[in-house]
């Protein structure tokens, strides 16, 4: 195995990785430079690492090939990043990539039997014929798991390095590479020297049709997002209005809908606005379209983060990259709470023009080129939502009785809204289970 891994150029494993450690183990084994017990202990350590990855991502059957596939599609190198969303282009680098793919084909087909027989172990036999325990979807990222396992079977079925190369680069073109290629949405974790992107597993699989009503609002959102996904000019978007009307649901739905076109979402909280520049720097050269999503965006009078947000959206020295937009939801039309002090034209002690303060605060909303109002539904619209959700969930109740029960429910559950209607339906479904 060491002689195969040592041939890797573009996909050479990093120090300490499973492949790098296995290469050392087989080198010592073949040269007889380590004792049997030491080789076994070191081998088991790497098997445990493979099993952990397999458990985290719900791999099954041939975990060795699943691991190699996972390595290939998460390896962000100049070649793989160039291929993401565009596929392989003509160039000499392809020859090096094909040679690496030929080496990986050897690793896919590697026969561990002599190694295991000499050591009296059978761990590779077990992980190449593995039967995983069925887990709930919330316990792993099902979407990533399915992509890895499907590509793993496809790569295993190739005849040589060139065919292996073609199928791998086809995957890069279809999905991309690394965590951005595999996942739809991310949160961030701050560090002193930058940020780490944390995939959001099992994001709600909602689609726009799940949101009853609000057809004009959905049309505006889709129009802007489609233009963005297709590389045309588009605007930052503010979804504002009453709570429980479907603003956040609409954002999740468009991410699900446009993910195949390379749309990704990065959710950022208000206290992380200081990291916006790092986020933008990390993604501006990737071949994806990123929505930076801010949920329930609002500022109190004493909070000043809105000034930094204004600069990042449009007013900074560096132009915002074409592959990034800001989408925000808020229950406030102007995002920032106004006070009567703001409206007094002059500060009594110092002559400061308060009207300038108002203008500065209200100008933030003008940074959003598309503003979509999600208002509370009328009672008739509320009834339509309830009836539609009941039909969708197979609830067979007389319409008049259903509406009366829904009206009783909303009185003590926050008033009329789409969220209240969904909670009412959930309560009915709980009685059926």
Domain stop point among 328, 347, 374: 374
Per-residue pLDDT of the chain (433 residues; tens, 9 = 90+): 889 999 999 999 999 999 999 999 999 999 887 889 999 999 999 999 999 999 988 899 999 999 999 999 999 999 999 898 788 888 889 999 999 999 999 999 999 999 999 999 999 999 999 988 776 655 556 778 889 999 999 999 999 999 999 999 999 998 889 889 888 999 999 888 888 999 987 788 888 888 888 899 999 999 999 999 999 999 999 999 888 888 999 999 999 999 989 999 999 988 888 888 889 888 988 889 999 999 888 766 656 666 667 766 765 555 678 899 999 998 866 565 655 455 455 454 444 445 555 566 567 777 788 999 998 888 988 898 889 888 888 888 888 889 999 899 988 888 888 889 889 888 888 876 5
**Nearest of 316, 377, 307 to residue 336 by alpha carbon:** 307
For the domain that residue 211 is a member of, what is the CATH number?
Answer: 3.40.50.300
Full residue range of the structural domain in which residue 213 is found: 185-374
Judgement on whether residues 294 and 392 belong to the same structural domain of the protein? no
23 and 62 within one domain = yes
**What are the Cα distances from residue 59, in Å, to 64, 170, 255?**
10, 21, 25
Q: Are residues 202 and 242 in the same domain?
A: yes
| Claim to verify: residue 256 and residue 346 sit in the same structural domain | yes
Q: What b/e string do you get for 25-52 counting C-beta neighbours within 10 Å, with b at 16 or more?
A: bbbbbeeeeeeeeebeebbeebbeebbe
Domain boundary among 130, 151, 178: 178
Do 212 and 164 sit in the same domain of this protein?
no
DSSP letters, 16-80, are: TSHHHHHHHHHHHHHHT-S-HHHHHHHHHHHHHHHHHHHHHHT--B-HHHHHHHHHHHH---HHH
Residue 196 backbone phi and psi in degrees, to 5: -115, 135
- List the alpha helices (DSSP H) in 157-246: 161-175, 178-182, 215-229
**Contact between residue 26 and residue 43 where contact means Cβ atoms under 8 Å apart:** no
Q: 178, 207, 233 — which closes off a domain?
A: 178
User: Which H or E run includes 329?
Assistant: strand 324-330
Q: What residues pair up with 241 in beta bridges, in sequence order?
A: 374
Same domain, 165 and 22: yes
**Per residue in 325-339, is it b (16+ CB within 10 Å) or e — as a string?**
bbbbbbbeebbbeee
Same domain, 114 and 216: no
Co-location of 284 and 348 in the same domain: yes
* Structural domains in the chain (count): 3
Q: Are 251 and 352 in a shared domain?
A: yes
Place of tokens 């183990």: 25
Instruction: Look at residue 83 and give its three-state secondary structure.
Output: helix
Same domain, residue pair 212 and 349:
yes
Pair 269, 168 in one domain: no
Residues in the chain: 433
0.85 surpassed by pTM: no
Query: Which residues are within 8 A (CB) of 431 and not within 5 positions of it... i.e. 6 or more apart?
Result: none
**Is there a single domain that holds both residue 207 and residue 150?**
no
Residue with tokens 């073109």: 173
């Amino acid at each position: 195995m060491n002689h195969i891994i040592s041939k890797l150029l573009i996909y050479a494993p990093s120090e300490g990785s499973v492949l790098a450690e296995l290469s050392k183990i087989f080198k010592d084994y073949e040269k007889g430079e380590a004792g049997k017990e030491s080789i076994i202990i070191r081998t088991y350590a790497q098997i445990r690492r493979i099993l952990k990855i397999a458990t985290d991502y719900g791999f099954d059957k041939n975990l060795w090939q699943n691991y190699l596939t996972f390595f290939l599609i998460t390896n962000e190198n100049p070649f793989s990043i160039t291929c993401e969303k565009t596929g392989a282009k003509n160039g000499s680098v392809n020859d090096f990539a094909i040679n690496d793919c030929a080496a990986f084909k050897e690793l896919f087909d590697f026969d561990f039997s002599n190694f295991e027989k000499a050591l009296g172990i059978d761990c590779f036999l077990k992980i190449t014929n593995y039967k995983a325990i069925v887990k709930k979807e919330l316990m792993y990222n099902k979407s990533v798991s399915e992509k890895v396992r499907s590509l793993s079977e496809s790569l295993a079925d190739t005849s040589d390095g060139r065919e292996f190369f073609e199928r791998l680069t086809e995957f890069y073109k279809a999905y991309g590479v690394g965590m951005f290629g595999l996942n739809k949405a991310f949160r961030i974790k701050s560090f002193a020297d930058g940020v780490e992107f944390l995939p959001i597993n099992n994001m709600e699989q909602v689609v726009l049709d799940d949101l009853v009503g609000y057809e004009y609002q959905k049309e505006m959102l889709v129009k802007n997002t489609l233009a963005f996904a297709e590389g045309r000019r588009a605007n930052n978007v503010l979804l504002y209005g009453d709570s429980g009307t479907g603003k956040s649901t609409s954002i999740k739905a468009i991410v699900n809908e446009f993910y195949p076109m390379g749309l990704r979402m990065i959710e950022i909280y208000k206290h992380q606005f200081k990291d916006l520049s790092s986020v933008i720097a990390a993604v501006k050269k990737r071949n994806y379209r990123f929505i930076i999503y801010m949920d329930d965006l609002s500022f109190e009078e004493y909070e000043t983060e809105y000034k930094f947000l204004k600069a990042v959206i449009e007013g900074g020295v560096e132009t915002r990259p074409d592959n990034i937009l800001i989408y925000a939801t808020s229950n406030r039309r102007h995002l920032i709470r106004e006070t009567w002090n703001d409206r007094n034209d002059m500060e009594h002690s110092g002559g400061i023009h308060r009207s300038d303060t108002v203008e500065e605060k209200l100008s933030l909303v003008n940074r959003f080129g598309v503003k979509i109002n999600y208002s509370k539904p009328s009672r008739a619209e509320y009834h339509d939502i309830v009836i539609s959700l009941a039909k969708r969930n197979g609830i067979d109740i007389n319409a008049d009785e259903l509406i009366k029960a829904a009206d009783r429910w909303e009185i003590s559950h926050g008033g009329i809204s789409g969220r209240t209607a969904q909670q009412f339906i959930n309560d009915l479904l709980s009685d059926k289970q």
